[in-house]
Structure 1
Amino acid sequence: HLVEEPGHRIETIVSGPTLIEHASEAVSSIALVAMIILIGAEAIVRNVFSGSLQITSEIGGYLLVAVTFLSMSVAEAHGGFHRVELVQARMSQRARIKLQILFDGFSLAACLLIAWQLWRLARNSWNSGDVAPTPLQTPLWLPQIVMGIGMSFLCLALLRSAYAKWTYLSSRVAT
């Protein structure tokens, strides 16, 4: 559907969130709250008890990875990524949409390549039994698989966005 953003001269055609984006947003929100609680607990332990939980940096990093990768499809579904409007503002709506579809295609190709490599990385870590060199010795495939899932979800969101733009463009030609 078409979204007119206040303060922007260019409308955005978004596919809208699906169950995938709603679930990703929920998991990201939980991870963000967990990070806040963990960092708060670390601050209390350091300042009140002069100690440390010893896991805050590691777990906080894993949670940050989860928030980052799982929220990318949410941003795409809502049209939340930045766009360079300088050139697009001088184009017709039809040309803008065609350019956006082309950009979505290039983005999808890059994201598919990254997703493939992330899944390979997670599989290799699983097969070799790689663990983090930390006291927790977290299996490295755990954060890596979250990265692969998030990137795969972004690929699906890019496909849906390109399809929504194509459908919008096609409906304008038919009318």
Structure 2
Amino acid sequence: MRRMLDALYDGAAWLGALFMIGTLVSVLAGVLDRQFAWSLRGTDMYAGYCMAASGFLALAHTLKKGEHIRVTLILNGLRGSARRALEIWALALATALSMLFAWYSVMLSVNSYAYHDISTGNDATPLWIPQITMGVGAVILMIAFIDELVLEIRGRRTQAGSDEALHHE
């Protein structure tokens, strides 16, 4: 199960990276379009869609690598069972919020499909298509928070040290 979850997080991150490349391609296409007057439509909108997709799809992987911003001022002052209780409380709250976020993200895409909602830009893209990546990213983030909560409850959660994040900057 651990390998499957890690593969899910890694796969979503790789897909997010591909969407980041899509952002680059869309921006470059827009620049070339203005330079050579090719009449490409919606390149700025597609760059935005790709950027949002890359961000949402990378959320779970970022959480699992310990790279999300955490306010540890209170947490670092606690030890033992008090620290563990605060970790469990925070992860339970984050899990509940991620469940709501996932639900509403998926429902946004479903409603956009049901009401035939399209982009107001000149690309006229059906909005449920780019919104799918937001819903998928939110669902994977929810799974990652549930994973973290279960690991913390079972006493198997590993987390980055407070100085480890500094090495990545």
Any idea what the Cα deviations from partners look like across 1:1-56, whole Å, max 9, x if unmatched?
xxxxxxxxxxxxxxxx611111111111111112112212322343x425663322
Work out which structure has the larger RCO, using CA pairs closer than 8 Å and 6 or more positions apart in sequence.
1
* Larger CA Rg, structure 1 vs 2: 1
Identity fraction in percent: 25
RMSD: 2.3
Alignment of 1:83-122 (within 5 A): 83-122=70-109
Alignment of 1:2-13 (within 5 A): none
Alignment of 1:90-169 (within 5 A): 90-168=77-155
Task: Please state whether the residue corresponding to 1:106 is helix, strand or coil.
Answer: helix
Contact 2:49 2:130 (8 Å CA) reproduced: yes
> Quick one: which amino acid aligns to residue 72 of structure 1?
L
TM-score of the two chains, using structure 2 as the length reference: 0.81
In the alignment, which residue of structure 2 is the partner of 1:37? 25
Structure-1 separation of matches of 2:69 and 2:149: 16
Task: Please state whether the residue corresponding to 2:58 is helix, strand or coil.
Answer: helix
Contact 1:130 1:139 (8 Å CA) reproduced: yes
TM-score of the two chains, using structure 1 as the length reference: 0.79
Structure-2 separation of matches of 1:33 and 1:57: 14
Contact 2:30 2:44 (8 Å CA) reproduced: no
In the alignment, which residue of structure 2 is the partner of 1:27? 15
Q: Residues 93 and 117 of structure 1: is their aligned pair in 2 closer, same or farther, counting only changes over 3 Å? A: same
Task: Please state whether the residue corresponding to 1:89 is helix, strand or coil.
Answer: helix
> Quick one: which amino acid aligns to residue 26 of structure 2?
L
Task: Please state whether the residue corresponding to 1:54 is helix, strand or coil.
Answer: coil
Q: Does 1:57 align with 2:34?
A: no
Any idea what the Cα deviations from partners look like across 1:79-114, whole Å, max 9, x if unmatched?
211111211121104422321221111111111112
Structure-2 separation of matches of 1:169 and 1:145: 33
Stretches of structure 1 lacking an aligned partner (at least 5 in a row): 1-16, 171-175
Task: Please state whether the residue corresponding to 1:102 is helix, strand or coil.
Answer: helix
